[in-house]
Amino acid sequence: MNEVWNLDPIYKGFDDPAFEADISLSKEKLQEFSAFTAELANCDALTGLRKGIALLEQIEELVNKLGLFASLRQSANSRDAEAASQMGRLMALYSAMAAPNAAFREWVSKLPNLMELVESDAELKEYSFMFGKIADSSRYQLPGRGEEIMARMRLSGGSAWSDLQGYLTSTVPVEYNGTTTNLSTIRNLAYDADPAVRKAAYEAELACYERIKDSVAFALNSIKLETISDCQLRGYDSPLARTLKHSDMKRETLDAMLAAMDEYCPKFWQYLKAKAKALGHENGLPWYDLFAPMGKASSKFTTEEAKAYLVKQFSTFDQELTDMVAEAFDNAWIDFYPRDGKAGGAFCAGAECLGESRILTNYDGQLGDVVTLAHELGHAFHNLCIKGHKPLNKDYSMPVAETASTFNECIVMAAAIKSAASDDERLALIESQLQDATQIICDIYSRFRFEAMVFENREEKFMNADMLCQFMTEAQKQSYGDGLDHSCMHPYMWVCKGHYYGPTFYNFPYAFGGLFARGLYAQYLAEGESFVPKYKKLLYTTSVATVEDTAKVADIDLTDKNFWRAALQTIADEIDLFCQLVEK
């Protein structure tokens, strides 16, 4: 089994003639689209809609393929100078798309009978949701050359600052135990069975941030101020309002979810205090023991063993998902192990040009790493479910983006807990699942609160690294309550999490996806096999409907706090079981 992904089916390299040919074709199609939009005033409405969509489909497929290859190369090695150079070249190409795209959208939004025309044409009708969004969002579009100017400025603004954060966190040297390692490797030691290793790794991690904190603080301040300015220019009430609009999600849905989370946070604090007591701590759990394994932890999994384990568990749910998982391992979709210069964390990128996906992890063989693989393979399955959509209908919003991934986690962990051979093994599995649940509730809530504080303060002042650390610690105290030892927090979580370094208010979708998936999983348990087609239809719907309408496929009202309470109660029940097991 390959340890790294195979990108050759996309391009064999930047020197592949096909890469340059696609660059040239992209430029040609972009010029054709620009010329077309310049003549829209003289164009018949239906003809203009058809031709505009046809050109956009061609451009979308080309630039997605080019951008995918360059970004995957860069993620695998941030020191890849050629990848950085080509990414800059592609970003310039993307920015040139802003002006004609804005012109087309403006023309579309002003058509008096837009939706009538769309509904009357079989090809255009498939884009009804997209056209409705264009009409609705036209009031937020910048006038004249505003979109083009903003896109060009972003190249040396927010995008560049984001690249800096990624580069610094992937290359910062970490001094540990007499050797020098990288951030991904040191963060993996948080799961080590030895408490001395966990504590030493935590201290080494915090120490390394001293080297880069000021530079990363400048990056965060710059990106957030750019976001605030962009929202003001467009007329959004706030960055959160813009994110909700782009997420096709109502504020009522977010408020219902957060209110339910507030109600259930003390239950998570109960779990953390029980774990702290079991590990010998008196004042709550220190940060370095958040991921401490408990019970009889499973032995480490090789990648072959991880494949066999996941295939076995998913075979109880759906054969299509099972076959895709096996294919991902067998056909080198996955870049497994941490190394110097490689991006931290994990992600899945859809390779639409292949009808496949590519997955990056920093695999260490722990059960949590196997669950991470399941999570990312859930994203890949989501990509598979929307494969049948037209090219411009394959973007789903951030909240539903975490649904299939977390649903996969539910399948794997439920099966593992059910087959546990002893209470000790069951404890290890339940505790691992509660670690993940605490991340999507308490930790995500702390990130949401931190990001809110940053946006609230950035317009008036620059926040230095010390102030950002203070905000982060305060957000953690509010979200983790007395479950954590307040003398041993993680003030630098804003440095290592790349989610902050983009133009959106990012962090709530993980909580949404996790709880939405748990609600769906409860339905699966109640309905059995008949639920599977409904689940696939729901995933298919995610890119062509609001999150509320998507949920209606499964007869769910997302603005009802009781739905979120029911999902959270499934975790509360696991916390009760955990507390019983640790007290035995």
335 in the same domain as 234: no
Q: What is the pTM of this model?
A: 0.86
CATH code for the domain in which residue 77 is found: 1.20.140
536 in the same domain as 517: yes
What was the pLDDT predicted at 422?
Answer: 87
Does residue 560 sit within a domain?
A: yes
**DSSP SS3 for 357:** strand
Single-letter amino acid, residue 406: T
Output helix, strand, coil percentages for the chain, rounded to the nearest 5: 70, 5, 25
489-525 as b/e: b if 16+ CB within 10 A: bbbbbbbbbbebbebbbbbbbbbbbbbbbbbbbeebe
235 in the same domain as 110: no
Helices (H), 235-318: 239-246, 251-278, 303-314
What was the pLDDT predicted at 72?
Answer: 98
Does residue 25 sit within a domain?
A: yes
d(CA 443, CA 556): 26
Q: What are the DSSP calls for 514-579, one per residue?
A: HHHHHHHHHHHHHHGGGHHHHHHHHHHHTTSS-HHHHHHTTT--TT-HHHHHHHHHHHHHHHHHHH
d(CA 415, CA 317): 10
d(CA 370, CA 432): 11
Largest CA distance in the chain: 79
Of 465, 500, 535, which marks where a domain is finished? 500
Range of the domain at 417: 303-425+509-582
Give kind and range of the element (H or E) at residue 33.
helix 17-38
Does residue 541 sit within a domain?
A: yes
Q: Which residues pair with 350 in a beta bridge?
A: 357
d(CA 329, CA 320): 15
- Of 301, 333, 303, 327, give the one whose Cα is nearest residue 314: 327
Does residue 8 sit within a domain?
A: no
418 in the same domain as 553: yes
Of 156, 184, 199, which marks where a domain is finished? 156
Q: Give the model confidence (pLDDT) of 70-112 as tens digits.
A: 999 999 999 999 999 999 999 988 888 989 999 999 999 999 9
Within a 10 A sphere around the Cβ of 466, how many other Cβ atoms? 12
Q: Give the model confidence (pLDDT) of 500-540 as tens digits.
A: 999 888 778 889 999 999 999 999 999 999 999 999 999 99
For the segment 541-567, the average pLDDT, to the nearest whole number, is 96
Q: At what angle do helices 423-438 and 403-418 cross, to 10 degrees?
A: 170
Q: What is the CA radius of gyration of the chain?
A: 24
Q: Return all residues near 451 (Cβ < 8 A) that are at least 6 apart.
A: 500, 505, 506, 507
Residue 511, CB half-sphere, CA atoms under 13 Å: how many?
A: 28
182 in the same domain as 49: no
DSSP annotation of 105 reads: H
d(CA 154, CA 141): 16
DSSP annotation of 316 reads: T
What was the pLDDT predicted at 297?
Answer: 65
Counted domains in the chain: 3
- Mean pLDDT of the chain, nearest integer: 95
- Of 33, 156, 141, give the one whose Cα is nearest residue 92: 156
474 in the same domain as 516: no
312 in the same domain as 285: no
What was the pLDDT predicted at 137?
Answer: 87
221 in the same domain as 114: no
Of 478, 500, 522, which marks where a domain is finished? 500
Q: Give the model confidence (pLDDT) of 404-460 as tens digits.
A: 999 999 999 888 888 888 889 899 999 989 998 999 999 999 999 999 999 999 999
As a whole number of Å, the end-to-end CA separation of the chain is 42
263 in the same domain as 166: yes
Q: At what angle do helices 508-527 and 531-541 cross, to 10 degrees?
A: 150
d(CA 560, CA 563): 6
- Of 218, 492, 165, give the one whose Cα is nearest residue 226: 218
Q: Output the CA–CA distances (angstroms, integers) from residue 350 to 19, 97, 137, 256, 430, in the order listed.
A: 18, 22, 26, 31, 31
256 in the same domain as 240: yes
- Of 434, 468, 458, give the one whose Cα is nearest residue 225: 458
170 in the same domain as 243: yes
Does residue 3 sit within a domain?
A: no
Does residue 1 sit within a domain?
A: no
493 in the same domain as 576: no
Does residue 11 sit within a domain?
A: no
Q: Return all residues near 105 (Cβ < 8 A) that are at least 6 apart.
A: 134, 137, 138, 141
Q: Give the model confidence (pLDDT) of 9-63 as tens digits.
A: 999 999 999 999 999 999 999 999 999 999 999 999 999 999 999 999 999 999 9
What was the pLDDT predicted at 298?
Answer: 67
Does residue 280 sit within a domain?
A: yes
526 by Cβ neighbours in 10 Å (0-12 / 13-18 / 19+) ranks as exposed
Q: Return all residues near 56 (Cβ < 8 A) that are at least 6 apart.
A: 33, 101, 104, 392
